[in-house]
Structure 1
Amino acid sequence: MLSSHFQAVVEKAFSVLANKVPQVNPKSNGYWAGFLVGLSLGLIWTPCVGPILASVITLALTGTVTFNAFLITFFYALGTAIPMFTVMVGGSKVLTRIPLLAKNASKIQKSFGILTIFIAIAIFKNWDRNFQSFVLTKFPNYGASLTRIEERGNLSVLTGVSEQDKKSSQDLPVIKKAPDIIAGGQWLNTQAPLSLSGNLKDKVVLVDFWTYTCINCIRTLPYLKNWHQKYQKDGLVIVGVHSPEFEFEKDLENLSKAVVDFDIRYPVVQDNNFATWRAYKNSYWPAKYLIDGQGNLRYYHFGEGSYDETESAIQELLKEIGASPSSQINNVKSQNFSQTPEIYLGFGRGDIGYATKKETYQKQTAPKNIGKNQVAYNGNWLFSQEFAQSDTASELLLNFSAKDIFLVMHPVSGSAEVEIYLDDIFEKKITVNQNKLYEILKLQEPGRHTLKLKFPDKKIKLFAFTFG
């Protein structure tokens, strides 16, 4: 075990590093931020480190690969490559200048080859994840410090809004002119298309980016519906911009049914081409942007939570247009016990566990012990970019930690049944007959369990697990 003194020294070093990073000017291009993040992580080489790669993935998904995005990625890669190149060149010089090392160069190369094989086995066995958990447990400031470095360098690049504006949002300053809403499909719950420069002028507008299978979006709907009912007469217009996460969510019939099922009565517009998403430089589901009567962006919030703060901002902007809204705020305080992150089952966007990444049916055999937050399969399965498709008599196993578990599913034809087991004990059956998010289990207390799904007859497409 590491001594407490050594642990404190290491944590302090990372905290100092994070605090030394200067605040980035929101008008900067993000090149040096990307370079610094890459440089700081090059020695440990973690291929999925934070906002830089997140922005690249988002841009790729939405089809917006600009020269500026290319340059940011290039500087990030350059920063990552410099430490690696230094180690390579330095190691080569050391090897040639020290006789003992030069004499045993062949043995050293073989040793590193064995080490590489061991590392590959460790990754396959998930030992690396256990090690990461150990490091983050012993040195909690390590992960937090790296996150602060990334956030300071890249939040403004992703959102187009500075961290300084975010901190002063309680005063609701004018952040920038809000982009107009660009329809990427049909409008729902409105007689005519809406426009900030037209029929929404002199209104307070809350633009909510969402998608109907996203559990985080679904959990915000009660608050949005309450605000719509409470403040519509005062001049608030909520616009749900539906930017689809999966291909089937682009279908108007599916979206229309979801709007009815969720009893959404405020306007909703399809953003199938992500035009409005890109105009707002958005990167999150859900995301809320609050716009005043003059068309200025005054407040924003990403993800769940901050409901009281958001409602207070709504009230303040309504007063600016001469309304007298209720000053009472009685939002339910939400609790989130989730520990397992969202898991995508298609190999294009997530980790498909122990399966092979090729679009064909594969015979799967689940290992005896499944790693934490890992998925495994029994029987024949077809894997694609977006989903995993079951076959007759196939099974899915998931090691998870949460209180509630949800799964986006899509029947291949007609309807199909799924048998649900928790820790090998049968819980219930559900019928999959729509393309939507299904509640798999709702437990009394959060905890770590093994979920087993059995597919006795028909084929079903499985897209993503979410937890609560």
Structure 2
Amino acid sequence: MKPHKSLFTWSLLAAITAFAIAACGGDLDPANAPTQIVVAPTATQSADSPEPTHTPVVSPTNPLPLPTYPDGVLEVYGGNGWLNSDPFTIAEQTADGKVVLVDFWTYTCVNCIRTFQFLKEWHAKYADNGLVILGVHTPEFEFEEDYNNVRDSLLREDIQWPIVQDNDYETWNSFGNRYWPAKYLIGIDGQLRYRHFGEGAYVEAEHAIRDALTEAGWDVSDIPIGTIDRSPRDPVANRITRELYGGYQRNYTQSGLYAGQEQYYIEPDSTREYLDDGNYTPQQWYLQGLWTNGPESIMHARSTDNLEDHIAFQFVGRSANVVVNPEGTEPYDVFVEIDGRPLKPEEAGMDIMFDDEGRSYFRVTEPRLYAFLETPEFGEHIVKLTSNSDDFAIFAFTFGINEGGI
């Protein structure tokens, strides 16, 4: 999704909420809807559409001809901290005969995480052969601005190429970028050689890297090229639940209305009691118990003893993840059910554990994406997450139809 979307006024939104909630069973595709109009969510996103990104992409293919940029535009501006490297400029690298692959990402973006294996392969192959990968970490959520959180994500994912923090969106804006992930390949003349938005096209991208390196005088002819062009998808999957956001900043936008209960839309930053009646509209989440609607997340608003409160949704796909930022300092557990029962081991995402009673849960220890569901086959289910902790804050749910999780 775009990082900066104009928000409608609360009074206007309150007036249209009843209509919008009632219309949520329609077949409109938010990616094709007119801009600046609140639309009803679709039942699911088509799996035949381009690889999902945080923003709808009309086409993931490389547009031709590529734009020509004035000198100095494709450059690092500002910078709120560097990791894995001392600060440098793109111009310094290209003047030294290097080709620069700029990768815009943010560490809780599931689409970005899916590209890491390919970035790691390119870094291993070409770092000593003229390629500099520069990760520009432009945060989607406020907690992603924290240097320590970004550093921890690099250690967790074993990312070794240079990273610059772009908390103020200065480099993002200089490129005119709108997507996570997005890749821009810059030749030694400082001009764009290739760009790609979203996942996939990995063989195409590697060919572009090799062509740019060859033009720059590097011999990569003996280096084998990769053969995987995209992550393998479930052959049966033809649709997928869209990304679901918790905070009101994104619920009141063109593609919003992620919350399925009218109480959510009455007033921002308000704590209210919710009743889950079990009647779920696809593409929305539902609450039971006491919750507070914040700008970036929906927050559990009380401590409980017996997992009385939950968040639930109808899920279509293979895998599910949640972005959680613990509001306090103490770890806490989030229990997961599918169709009214605990997960089976073969349905457990990589962060799931099981207690002595056979209940499935994950432990929240840091702000990040938690992979909690990975079903062995494509399907449609009701999923519930619940925690006794009043530190439980949900920023986003993301979903997948790839074989092998996440």
TM-score range, shorter chain: 0.7 to 0.9
427-436 vs 386-395, greater mean Cα deviation: 386-395
| 8 Å contact from structure 2 (residues 243, 397) kept in 1 | yes
Which among 114, 129, 134 is matched to residue 219 of structure 1? 114
Output the CA distance in 2 between the equivalents of 1:167 and 1:180. 21
| 8 Å contact from structure 2 (residues 332, 364) kept in 1 | yes
Output the CA distance in 2 between the equivalents of 1:182 and 1:243. 12
| 8 Å contact from structure 2 (residues 100, 186) kept in 1 | yes
Q: CA deviation at 1:234?
A: 0.8
* Deviations 1:97-142, CA, capped at 9 Å, x for gaps: xxxxxxxxxxxxxxxxxxxx9x98664334x533548xx9xxxxxx
Aligned residue type for 1:322: G
Aligned residue type for 1:407: V
Output the CA distance in 2 between the equivalents of 1:123 and 1:241. 37
Aligned residue type for 1:417: D
| 8 Å contact from structure 1 (residues 315, 327) kept in 2 | no
Gaps of 5+ in 2: 8-14, 33-41, 43-55, 252-256, 344-359, 401-406
Output the CA distance in 1 between the equivalents of 2:284 and 2:159. 35
Output the CA distance in 2 between the equivalents of 1:304 and 1:328. 18
Question: What's 1:461 paired with?
Answer: 393
Determine if the alignment matches structure 1 residue 399 to structure 2 residue 314: yes
Question: What's 1:341 paired with?
Answer: 242
Aligned residue type for 2:69: K
The alignment's C-alpha RMSD in Å is: 2.7
| 8 Å contact from structure 2 (residues 200, 229) kept in 1 | no
Question: What's 1:361 paired with?
Answer: 271
* Deviations 1:256-282, CA, capped at 9 Å, x for gaps: 000110100000000000000000000
Output the CA distance in 1 between the equivalents of 2:172 and 2:121. 24
* Deviations 1:153-175, CA, capped at 9 Å, x for gaps: xxxxx99xxx9x94436xxx673
| 8 Å contact from structure 1 (residues 58, 283) kept in 2 | no
Determine if the alignment matches structure 1 residue 295 to structure 2 residue 190: yes
| 8 Å contact from structure 2 (residues 93, 100) kept in 1 | no
1:383-398 residue pairs with structure 2 within 5 A? 383-390=293-300, 391-392=302-303, 393-398=308-313
Q: 1:179 to 1:381 in 2, by over 3 A?
A: same
Q: 1:186 to 1:60 in 2, by over 3 A?
A: farther
Question: What's 1:197 paired with?
Answer: 91
Output the CA distance in 1 between the equivalents of 2:137 and 2:17. 41
Which among 265, 270, 281 is matched to residue 165 of structure 2? 270
Name the SS for the 1:285 alignment partner: coil
Name the SS for the 1:411 alignment partner: coil
Q: 1:223 to 1:423 in 2, by over 3 A?
A: same
Indicate the structure (1 or 2) with the bigger Cα radius of gyration: 1
Question: What's 2:365 paired with?
Answer: 433
Question: What's 2:353 paired with?
Answer: none
Q: CA deviation at 1:457?
A: 3.5
| 8 Å contact from structure 1 (residues 223, 331) kept in 2 | no
| 8 Å contact from structure 1 (residues 416, 458) kept in 2 | no
Question: What's 1:377 paired with?
Answer: 287
Q: CA deviation at 1:244?
A: 0.2
Output the CA distance in 1 between the equivalents of 2:389 and 2:104. 37
Determine if the alignment matches structure 1 residue 186 to structure 2 residue 78: no
Aligned residue type for 1:309: E
* Deviations 1:183-235, CA, capped at 9 Å, x for gaps: 42111101x21212224422110000000000000001110011000111110
1:10-409 residue pairs with structure 2 within 5 A? 58=4, 123-126=20-23, 128-130=24-26, 132=28, 166-168=62-64, 175-177=68-70, 178-190=73-85, 192-201=86-95, 202-325=97-220, 326-331=223-228, 333-336=230-233, 337=237, 339-350=240-251, 351=257, 352-354=259-261, 355-357=263-265, 358-390=268-300, 391-392=302-303, 393-409=308-324
Aligned residue type for 1:194: F
Output the CA distance in 1 between the equivalents of 2:174 and 2:5. 12
Q: CA deviation at 1:456?
A: 2.2
Output the CA distance in 2 between the equivalents of 1:60 and 1:287. 22
| 8 Å contact from structure 1 (residues 417, 458) kept in 2 | no
Output the CA distance in 1 between the equivalents of 2:18 and 2:366. 40
Q: Which has the higher contact order (CA 8 A, sep 6+)?
A: 2
Aligned residue type for 1:197: A
Aligned residue type for 2:299: Q
* Deviations 1:368-408, CA, capped at 9 Å, x for gaps: 31111210000000111100011334210111211100100
Aligned residue type for 2:340: D
Output the CA distance in 1 between the equivalents of 2:105 and 2:27. 36
350-359 vs 265-274, greater mean Cα deviation: 350-359
Name the SS for the 1:356 alignment partner: helix
Q: 1:293 to 1:244 in 2, by over 3 A?
A: same
Which among 416, 423, 437 is matched to residue 332 of structure 2? 416
Q: 1:293 to 1:125 in 2, by over 3 A?
A: same
* Deviations 1:404-455, CA, capped at 9 Å, x for gaps: 0010001122111111000111121110010000002011112111110111
| 8 Å contact from structure 1 (residues 194, 200) kept in 2 | no
TM-score (structure 2 length as normaliser): 0.75
Q: 1:273 to 1:454 in 2, by over 3 A?
A: same
Aligned residue type for 1:317: A
Determine if the alignment matches structure 1 residue 447 to structure 2 residue 379: yes
Q: 1:232 to 1:60 in 2, by over 3 A?
A: farther
Aligned residue type for 1:255: V
Name the SS for the 1:175 alignment partner: coil
| 8 Å contact from structure 1 (residues 175, 298) kept in 2 | no
Aligned residue type for 1:339: I
Q: Which has the higher helix share?
A: 1
Gaps of 5+ in 1: 1-53, 62-116, 137-142, 144-157
Q: 1:408 to 1:396 in 2, by over 3 A?
A: same
Output the CA distance in 2 between the equivalents of 1:291 and 1:435. 33
Q: 1:120 to 1:181 in 2, by over 3 A?
A: closer
Output the CA distance in 2 between the equivalents of 1:461 and 1:425. 23
How many residues align? The count is 327
